[in-house]
Amino acid sequence: MRKARAGLEVVGNAIAVNLVLALVKISVGVVGNSYALIADGIESTADIFSSLVVWSGLQVSAKPPDQNHPYGHGKAESLAGLAVALFLMGAAIFIAAQAIREISVPHTPPAWYTLLVLAVIIVIKEGLFRRMFRVGSELDSSSLRSDAWHHRSDAITSGAAFMGISIALIGGEQYAAADDWAALLACVIIFANGVRLLRPAMDEVMDASAPENKRERVVAIAAAVEGVKAIEKCRIRKSGLGYLMDIHVEVDGEISVREGHSIGHRVKDRLVNSSLQISDVVIHIEPASD
């Protein structure tokens, strides 16, 4: 629950910042005649909804196991990450369609002060990305990392808009569509990030194996417990902000069932209390082979 609270705090801050930025971007974009800035504001609005999805996913995943969900509610966090990746791809398609429409419509260059707004936005969004991605990595949260990339994508669209508006201001009316082309280019980057984030979230939903280096660390910890002769099998899958696993532990075949049971408990305690974020372990005791 402590880890979930850390995630909820950073998401809550991001929602508040995105709400303000979305209003500023859309307002300045309309007054300053910049569709790239309006598109950027729409993307920030999508960020608010995606952050709300992440918020809900973290809250549900933090619930303890119950009769209907004996393995806990961790999949809610993975589903939130999946939804955020799809949000990102959908926002890219929507903005691209609008940018293509704007390119074909003659219009005057954007106002110069839109560049100042974009410069401030780029700094803020990059800061949000770094903070949320750091927390997401610390918690091993796919939904937080996906949401962090929403902020990085926002910084990218703002950077593209900055370049496009600069070209439009320098080149005059014949280059007035440059900020629309910049918005279109940014959409390609946003969509690519959405695709990149989709796979790990999908893997978690499909119970894909944990990274091999985590499995190696688990085996090393379990094998070091007194009484363990060898580790035959070890399967690990991610669930929410932690991992569920089952492990086959080989012990001396001549010891009593009670002794074998005690060794299994020591293995479980050692793993759950490690820094590997293991939520629960199922131990299978087997006699060591000759």
Domains of the chain, first to last? 2-205 (1.20.1510.10), 212-287 (3.30.70.1350)
CB 39 within 8 A of CB 95: yes
**pLDDT in 10s for each residue of the chain, 290 residues:** 555 666 677 777 878 888 888 888 888 888 887 766 776 777 677 777 777 877 777 777 777 888 888 887 878 878 887 887 888 788 788 878 877 877 777 666 677 788 888 888 888 888 888 888 888 777 777 777 777 877 787 787 778 778 877 877 777 667 767 767 777 877 887 788 778 778 878 887 887 788 888 889 999 999 999 999 999 889 998 887 788 899 999 999 889 999 999 999 999 999 999 888 888 899 999 998 76
From CA 94, how far away is CA 43, in angstroms rounded?
9
From CA 230, how far away is CA 226, in angstroms rounded?
11
pLDDT at 252: 92
pLDDT at 4: 61
From CA 135, how far away is CA 148, in angstroms rounded?
9
